[in-house]
Structure 1
Amino acid sequence: MEPLALLLAALAVILAIPVPKLLHTARFRTRSPWATMLLWQAIALAGGLSMVGAPIVYGLSPFGSNVPQALSTAVRLTLDEDYSAMAGLQVHPWHLFCLCLGLLLGGHLLLTLARTYARVLSARRRHRQLVDLLSTPAPHGDHGAETQIIEHDAPMAYCLPGRTNASSITVLSRGLLNTLSEPELAAVIAHEQTHLKQRHHLLTMAFEAWYRALPWLPTTRYGREAVLELTEMLADEGAMAEHSREDLLRSLALSSSEAGAPGAGSPEDTKPLGAGASSEITGARLQRLLVPARPLSRTAVTGLVSASLALLAVPTGLLLLR
């Protein structure tokens, strides 16, 4: 199985360094944000699976000709404490080292995800309590049923996701209400509610955890930045489906602080759900709003979706190869 381990290692390196650098600046990302988002998710999952799988497969290589058989043999010999049989299979220290390395890396990724999720939920719960204390519900039928207003002069809007869409809220400041016209304000609210409907906070939280687990890896840094930008583009599309592009642009220009994807940024951030990082209007996003990009053709979108599925299938198929 050593060639299989080398294939997985090569795939992990390709998905960790050159592919994210190319995709980070790819022009097609502004033409189809949802397809690009799907591709980034596939890169993250396939890269992580290859990174964890390569040392595990190499470590199991003396135990069998395929992963299921080798894993079964390794578990049986370990439980039986049959170390003489392991010596007969030519199990060397570096095999055990690689096996432990893969298991530790996989555990590190899972624990970081769980830790990030717990910290985000805790920060979000505390922030929800503050909002309940310091805000007042918007008048019934005005600005949406799940909208809270805080008495603050700075123009500000953000969304606070709950366990379900019904328990999520949109928070507006008094300064924003006094700054924007009704159509502009409606565009901002539609933008925030798109974040909630599409559950963007789950995506940003997953990539934040990925970055926290391996901050030195280019793919984690580029992936986090890309997802923050793409969720904003998707929220812009949601707003423009119901309101004019001009109203959305004016609302961004007149607001000194515009909300970002919920759950983005640092979980310890005292800002609304970490709305600081994704609230920046990137050049690609602004260009997309000013000069609408021509959508990708159906063939191109099909190609991106197929590439995403292939990325997920390759490492999974290699690991389950019999």
Structure 2
Amino acid sequence: MMVPAALLLLGALAAVVAPRLLARADWPDREPVVALWVWQCVVAAVLLCCVLSMTLSAAAAWQSVRGNVFAPAPPAVVDAYALGATSPWAAATAVALACGGLWSGAMLVREVVRARRRRRLRRAELLVRAPKLPGEESGSDRLVVLEGERPDAWWLAGAAPRLVITTAALRRLQERQLDALLAHEQGHARARHDWLLHCSAALADGFPQVPVFAAFRDEMHRLVELAADDMASRRFGRLTTALALVELNEGRGVFGPGPTPQAHVPQRVHRLLTPPDRLPAIHRLRLTAAAALVPAIPVLVAFVPGLQALH
């Protein structure tokens, strides 16, 4: 039971240390795409620690599981894990981790079902407010214009994704600002940011006592917006993208004077108007490669006894 315990300790250490290191770093706002990748690798490592610990604990508790897990392995490898000396905690650990895995899957399914329900409701509302004309077909990038006094725009994902924008937004936005808005929303769709939000929300809602999952959800919501802002600004300029954000949100009170629920909007505008220096390409490559190695650490820890036995 030493390896399963070590894996759980490693997962707990990663869950505590990694969010604090990322919170203190100054580069995530400069490189949101890299930061998204790093966060995914950290959470994948934590989950992988739990999966591997569950598997080895189950192998220690039950002979049938052990036979399946170590079927192709020579006897020396099985002996290296000392699975014969069954710990009284092995079965309880395996069952607890398995329940956690099932709960995570259930939370993800619930989040996806809720998202699809919200999407169906919004599509039904859209058909009422903007009915199709006779013979009209839905295109893959259809732009839908709604009558509305409030400037607003959103991307409606699905089999036939479309950008929905109100007439008030069209009156306020200039042509290039509208193009920047479209590029921002298309950036979300192309990068499949919706799946990142679903997964992070499922983990945070399923395990509210685990701070790393709450931080993962909050950072995903923030970083996907920064990444989409960068996609738009690379095509149409930072000033144009910032002005589009201001025009859409100026009437909602998000720019003060007091704190507002959408305080991230002024921060995004400020970031666009005073762009931080990007990291050098070699630095971005190192961060990407280092993050990719993080999920490999639990695998290495799990295989160390077996590899030592083979040598």
TM-score, normalised on structure 1? 0.77
**Aligned equivalent of 1:202:** 195
Change over 3 Å in CA distance of 1:89–1:199 after alignment to 2: closer
User: Which stretch shifts more, 24-33 or 171-180?
Assistant: 24-33
Aligned-residue sequence identity (percent) comes to: 23
Q: Deviations over 1:121-165 (max 9, x none)?
A: 12212211211221368xx9xxx95111111111111101113xx
- Code of the residue aligned with 2:26 in structure 1: it is R
Matched, 1:105 2:107: no
- Determine helix, strand or coil for the equivalent of 1:17: helix
**Aligned equivalent of 1:174:** 167
Change over 3 Å in CA distance of 1:224–1:9 after alignment to 2: same
**Aligned equivalent of 1:120:** 115
The CA distance in 2 between the partners of 1:282 and 1:179, in whole Å, is: 18
- Determine helix, strand or coil for the equivalent of 2:155: strand
* 1:147 maps to which of 129, 139, 143: 143
- Code of the residue aligned with 2:279 in structure 1: it is L
Moved over 6 A (4+): none
Q: Deviations over 1:54-101 (max 9, x none)?
A: 35434533669xx9657458xxxxxxxxxxxxxx94535422111111
**Aligned equivalent of 1:313:** 296
* 2:225 maps to which of 204, 207, 232: 232
- Code of the residue aligned with 1:26 in structure 2: it is A
Q: Tell me, which stretches of 5 or more residues in structure 2 are unaligned?
A: 72-82, 252-260, 307-311
**Aligned equivalent of 1:295:** 278
Change over 3 Å in CA distance of 1:283–1:59 after alignment to 2: farther
Q: Is the 8 A contact 1:24 1:222 kept in 2?
A: no
Q: Is the 8 A contact 2:141 2:161 kept in 1?
A: no
1:287 Cα deviation after fit: 3.6
* 1:281 maps to which of 264, 269, 280: 264
- Determine helix, strand or coil for the equivalent of 2:111: helix
Report the RMSD for the aligned CA atoms in angstroms.
Answer: 2.9
Matched, 1:256 2:249: yes
**Aligned equivalent of 2:2:** 3
The CA distance in 2 between the partners of 1:172 and 1:159, in whole Å, is: 9
The CA distance in 1 between the partners of 2:250 and 2:152, in whole Å, is: 5
* 1:157 maps to which of 153, 172, 180: 153
1:171 Cα deviation after fit: 0.6
The CA distance in 2 between the partners of 1:286 and 1:25, in whole Å, is: 22
**Aligned equivalent of 1:80:** none
1:170 Cα deviation after fit: 0.6
- Determine helix, strand or coil for the equivalent of 2:108: helix
Change over 3 Å in CA distance of 1:49–1:284 after alignment to 2: farther
Q: Tell me, which stretches of 5 or more residues in structure 1 are unaligned?
A: 74-87, 259-276
Matched, 1:215 2:208: yes
Change over 3 Å in CA distance of 1:21–1:33 after alignment to 2: same
- Determine helix, strand or coil for the equivalent of 1:27: coil
Q: Deviations over 1:184-221 (max 9, x none)?
A: 22211221121112221111111111111111211111
**Aligned equivalent of 2:11:** 12
Q: Is the 8 A contact 2:60 2:66 kept in 1?
A: no
The CA distance in 1 between the partners of 2:201 and 2:50, in whole Å, is: 18
1:319 Cα deviation after fit: 3.8
Q: Is the 8 A contact 2:148 2:166 kept in 1?
A: yes
- Code of the residue aligned with 2:292 in structure 1: it is L
- Determine helix, strand or coil for the equivalent of 1:295: coil
- Determine helix, strand or coil for the equivalent of 1:147: strand
Matched, 1:304 2:297: no
1:283 Cα deviation after fit: 6.2
User: Which stretch shifts more, 249-258 or 229-238?
Assistant: 249-258
Q: Deviations over 1:229-249 (max 9, x none)?
A: 111111111111221221211
- Determine helix, strand or coil for the equivalent of 2:28: helix
